[in-house]
Amino acid sequence: MIITKQIDLQYSIKHHLAEKTGYKVVWIYDGVKLPETKPFITIEQMPSNTSMLAKLRETVRTIYHFQVGVYANSATERAAVQEEVRRIFLFDRFKLIDANDPSKELGLFCVDMTAETPIPAEDLSDKTSYHQVFFDIEVDATYQAY
């Protein structure tokens, strides 16, 4: 059984999106600066859910949540990149890559897209916030104690 870690999932999604789209993919963390040049994609960890599936904690399920943002130059470009990313989430299988040793593939996984939300710019002076859409995705992992 493969033990999935959040960092490996996030790294793998980032790597897959960059490889498939050719766009810069930015890992969101405290203090990160977004690129000036669009289009680009962001990936951010969101709160995960863990639940016990069997008595005595023999089986545990964790649903890892991520938010993926698309930032574009125009509404037309946003729609095109949005559709490209949407299809990746709907149909692709992602290689699970060890974030500490990127040459090491651990297996394959799929993501579930739970929401797709275009966001209007809140501050018209902030050009980075123009033409953006966010995807909420999740990865479901089940672990056994032994």
Average pLDDT over residues 87-91: 98
Write the CB contacts of 13 (distance below 8 Å, at least 6 apart in sequence): 43, 66, 68, 94, 111, 137
Q: With cut-offs at 50, 70 and 90, classify the pLDDT of residue 18.
A: very high
Q: With cut-offs at 50, 70 and 90, classify the pLDDT of residue 3.
A: low
Q: Please say whether the dihedral angle defined by the alpha carbons of residues 13, 28, 113 and 84, taken in this order, is positive or negative.
A: negative
Classify domain 6-29+38-65+85-144 at the CATH class level.
alpha beta
Whether this model's pTM surpasses 0.85 = yes
Confidence check: pLDDT of 54 > 80 = no
Model confidence over 97-133: pLDDT tens digits?
Answer: 999 999 999 999 999 999 999 998 887 777 778 899 9
Confidence check: pLDDT of 32 > 70 = yes
